[in-house]
């Protein structure tokens, strides 16, 4: 008896790349454009790692699916992230999923099933995320990157080490309370991303009219970035030094929910 998938020709099969956030989506669209890779698949922003994992089995059930790429952050535990994906693939019927990810990227090919490709950022072997992956793409002789790293390190006290994840979230919310003041001092609107399903939160600034892949714009981009980094250091450093997680009080139910998400 013919299955529904066997009635679909190869040209009709669709390929998708699953990513866990809008930043990932923008980065990979830009890389595809820069390297002039043909548009043979669509990128799906799953909006969080939990949603990506929870819907993975459903994605694999699609009758017209030819191949599925998965690019996610390894975060703090490569083995745990890999195991979470591996468990769901096995539950979906895959029998040749390796115990550990391939450092060069894992590809799983099984008869009668969609091809699955997996990459744990930054390099399938160490903890990290999108930002670390992108940093690996920067040429070793780039002059701006060391300046950016040095400025950021000066903003955050080097001796500060948070023992509990919720301290980091508390610090984010304390800064967010001063959002209007901070943005008025910087003279611009910032993007505030708590990322409740992740350890790290972000406060960042986009210049959407610049493309870092256009070499002719680099001088202008470097100047813009240097000016903004100096402004961030000037405004955030005094605030960061005064942060105390115990100053942030949340409703117990909200705190309990956050603890579950971050566990």
> Within a domain: residue 114?
yes
> Within a domain: residue 198?
yes
Residues 91 and 57 in one domain: yes
| Residue 239 pLDDT | 86
| Residue 39 pLDDT | 77
Percent of the chain as helix, strand, coil, to the nearest 5 = 45, 15, 40
Count structural domains, the chain.
2
| Residue 199 pLDDT | 66
Token code pair at residue 92: 């979906």
- The label of the residue with tokens 């960042």 reads 204
> Is the pLDDT reported for residue 245 higher than 70?
yes
Q: Is the pTM of this model over 0.75?
A: no
Q: What is the DSSP letter of 132?
A: H
Residues 89 and 14 in one domain: yes
Query: Which of 3-17, 31-45, 190-204 has the least mean pLDDT?
Result: 3-17
Of the chain, the percentage scoring pLDDT greater than 90 comes to: 28
> Is the pLDDT reported for residue 48 higher than 60?
yes
Select the more confidently predicted residue: 28 or 1: 28
**φ, ψ dihedrals at 123, nearest 5°:** -140, 25
Q: Give the mean pLDDT of the chain.
A: 81
> Is the pLDDT reported for residue 3 higher than 70?
no
> Within a domain: residue 20?
yes
Say how many CA atoms lie within 13 Å of 149 toward its Cβ: 9
- List the CATH number of the domain containing 77: 3.40.50
> Is the pLDDT reported for residue 101 higher than 90?
yes
DSSP string, 23-69: HHHHHHHHHHHHTT----SEEEE-SSHHHHHHTHHHHHT-TTEEEEE
Q: Per-residue pLDDT averaged across 63-69, rounded?
A: 90
Final residue in a domain of this structure, among 62, 87, 121: 121
> Is the pLDDT reported for residue 162 higher than 90?
no
> Within a domain: residue 126?
no
Token code pair at residue 180: 């209007």
Q: What is the per-residue pLDDT across 176-203, written as a single tens digit (0 to 9) for each?
A: 888 889 888 888 888 888 776 666 778 8
Q: Are 251 and 187 in contact (CB under 8 A)?
A: no
Q: What is the per-residue pLDDT across 222-237, written as a single tens digit (0 to 9) for each?
A: 888 888 888 888 888 8
Residues 98 and 184 in one domain: no
> Is the pLDDT reported for residue 243 higher than 60?
yes
Residues 193 and 91 in one domain: no
Residue 252 belongs to what domain range?
A: 139-262
* CA triple 39-92-11, angle to 5 deg: 30
| Residue 106 pLDDT | 96
Q: Per-residue pLDDT averaged across 235-254, rounded?
A: 71
Query: What is the rounded distance in angstroms from the CA atom of residue 241 to the CA atom of residue 146?
Result: 23
Final residue in a domain of this structure, among 121, 156, 179: 121
Q: What is the CA radius of gyration of the chain?
A: 21
Q: Are 4 and 30 in contact (CB under 8 A)?
A: no
| Residue 111 pLDDT | 92
Residues 189 and 226 in one domain: yes
| Residue 217 pLDDT | 82
Q: Shortest CA distance to 177 belongs to which of 192, 165, 162, 187?
A: 192
Residues 243 and 186 in one domain: yes
Final residue in a domain of this structure, among 62, 90, 121: 121
Q: Are 13 and 62 in contact (CB under 8 A)?
A: no
Q: Are 190 and 231 in contact (CB under 8 A)?
A: no
Q: What is the per-residue pLDDT across 147-157, written as a single tens digit (0 to 9) for each?
A: 777 776 665 54
Query: What is the rounded distance in angstroms from the CA atom of residue 85 to the CA atom of residue 79?
Result: 10
> Within a domain: residue 16?
yes
> Within a domain: residue 28?
yes
Residues forming beta bridges with residue 120, ordered by sequence position: 72
According to DSSP, the β-strands at 191-193 and 202-204 are antiparallel
């Amino acid at each position: 008896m013919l299955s529904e998938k066997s009635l679909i020709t190869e040209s009709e099969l669709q390929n998708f790349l699953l990513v866990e956030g809008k930043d990932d989506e923008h980065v990979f669209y830009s890389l595809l454009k820069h390297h002039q890779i043909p548009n043979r698949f669509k990128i799906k922003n799953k909006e969080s790692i939990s949603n990506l994992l929870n819907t993975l089995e459903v994605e694999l059930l699609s009758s017209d699916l030819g191949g599925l790429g998965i690019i996610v952050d390894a975060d703090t535990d490569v083995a745990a992230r890999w195991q979470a994906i591996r468990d769901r693939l096995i539950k979906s019927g895959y029998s040749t999923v390796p115990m550990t990810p391939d450092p060069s990227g894992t590809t799983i090919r099984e008869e009668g099933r969609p091809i699955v490709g997996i990459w744990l950022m930054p390099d399938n072997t160490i903890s990290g995320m999108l930002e670390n992956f992108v940093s690996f793409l920067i040429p070793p002789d780039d002059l701006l990157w060391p300046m950016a790293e040095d400025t950021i390190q000066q903003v955050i006290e080097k001796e500060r080490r948070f023992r509990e994840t919720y301290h980091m979230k508390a610090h984010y919310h304390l800064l967010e309370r001063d959002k209007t003041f901070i943005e008025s001092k910087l003279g611009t609107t910032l993007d505030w991303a708590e990322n409740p399903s992740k350890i790290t939160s972000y406060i960042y600034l986009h210049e959407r009219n610049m493309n870092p892949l256009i070499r002719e714009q680099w001088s202008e981009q470097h100047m813009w970035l240097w000016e903004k980094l100096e402004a961030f250091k000037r405004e955030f450093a005094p605030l960061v030094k005064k942060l105390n997680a115990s100053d942030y009080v949340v409703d117990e139910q909200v705190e309990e929910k956050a603890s579950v998400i971050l566990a």
